Amino acid sequence: MSTISSWIGAARLRTLPLSISGILVGSSIAWREGFFDIAIFSLALGTTLGLQILSNFANDYGDGVKGTDNDERLGPSRAIQSGLITQKDMLAAIVITAVTTLLLAVLLIYASFGEENILEALFFFFLGIGAIIAAMKYTMGDSAYGYRGLGDIFVFIFFGLVAVYGSYYLYSHEHHLISLFPAVSIGLLSVAVLNLNNLRDRISDEKSGKMTLVVKMGENRAKDYHYTLILGALFCLVVYSVITSSDLNDFLYLLAFIPLIFHLHRVVNNQDPKLLDPELKVVALSTFGIALLFTVGLLW
């Protein structure tokens, strides 16, 4: 029988701060523009956390069933791989999490649009359905897109553009194109976490037929890609702040980029994929720190 600690492990709590970064950034922009609503904020957080946990469960299930999670994998042991949770129980948890996340998404849409703006409400409803399907299809099924090197695109869209720009729109019902810069930034940082994970698992993924973008590019190009992601994120946020800033508080988030500079140095000199595992936490927590300081700077 699966224990509570097994399910907590399968949910991968260390990934959750990263998932809410986009909501923080989008909400802080909405606050500054005078559109903040606590109900929308709470439901948006619940929805994005549900999507992240759903993605983690589905990833555990998909890689476990396909045999990608094996003794050659360098990361932490997965629940199905280690036998802590059965495939049947994990599949049931995926269904429950998907339904719960969809319910939260519906409540979020209703809190934003009410009974008006039916077309916009339907658009966000189908966007929510798409996000849930994307969370599950990363590794699940014969057509899992994570096995074809497409994971980066979906992470960028849903944890960057949708999380930041989409959440802002849910508050304001207005387009604020300049906020695409922080949306792209959070998206790039989220992709950097996935890229680092795939760099760590490159050898075992290639052997098991999981053709991630890292496997397709090779180690050296994947490292160059990693630097581009992080420096591109820095560039986009600075551009946004230069255009919109009123004082130096708006640049507080630069402090959270400092650990990422040292991180890039460790990645460029890395020769042992095992040593990349703790770097995942560095990028994820730095992204959360950037989002938090960005929010503090705007609200100060």
Six-digit token string for 87: 């495939």
Range of weakest confidence among 68-82, 89-103, 153-167, 261-275: 68-82
pLDDT at 14: 82
Contact 199, 273 (CB under 8 A): yes
Average the pLDDT over 155-181 and give the result. 95
Confidence of residue 75 (pLDDT cuts 50, 70, 90): low
Is residue 69 scored above 70 in pLDDT? no
Name the average pLDDT for the chain.
Answer: 90
Range of weakest confidence among 5-14, 38-47, 173-182: 5-14
Contact 89, 60 (CB under 8 A): no
pLDDT at 74: 59
Q: pLDDT by residue (tens digit) across 217-237?
A: 999 999 999 999 999 999 999
Confidence of residue 216 (pLDDT cuts 50, 70, 90): very high
Task: State percent of the chain over pLDDT 90.
Answer: 64
Q: pLDDT by residue (tens digit) across 257-298?
A: 999 999 999 999 999 888 998 999 999 999 999 999 999 999
pLDDT at 235: 97
Q: Give me the phi and psi of 85, to 5 degrees please.
A: -135, 135
- Give the Cα separation of 240 and 219 in Å (integer): 32
User: Between 38-66 and 16-32, two packed helices, what is the crossing angle to 10 degrees?
Assistant: 150
Instruction: List, in order, residues 6 or more apart from 28 with CB less than 8 Å away.
Output: 294, 295, 298, 299
pLDDT at 62: 82
pLDDT at 67: 67
* Domains identified in the chain and CATH numbers: 4-299 (1.10.600)
Confidence of residue 10 (pLDDT cuts 50, 70, 90): confident
Instruction: List, in order, residues 6 or more apart from 9 with CB less than 8 Å away.
Output: 76, 79, 84
Confidence of residue 148 (pLDDT cuts 50, 70, 90): confident
Confidence of residue 199 (pLDDT cuts 50, 70, 90): very high
Q: pLDDT by residue (tens digit) across 102-146?
A: 999 999 999 999 888 889 999 999 999 999 999 998 888 778 888
Is residue 243 scored above 80 in pLDDT? yes
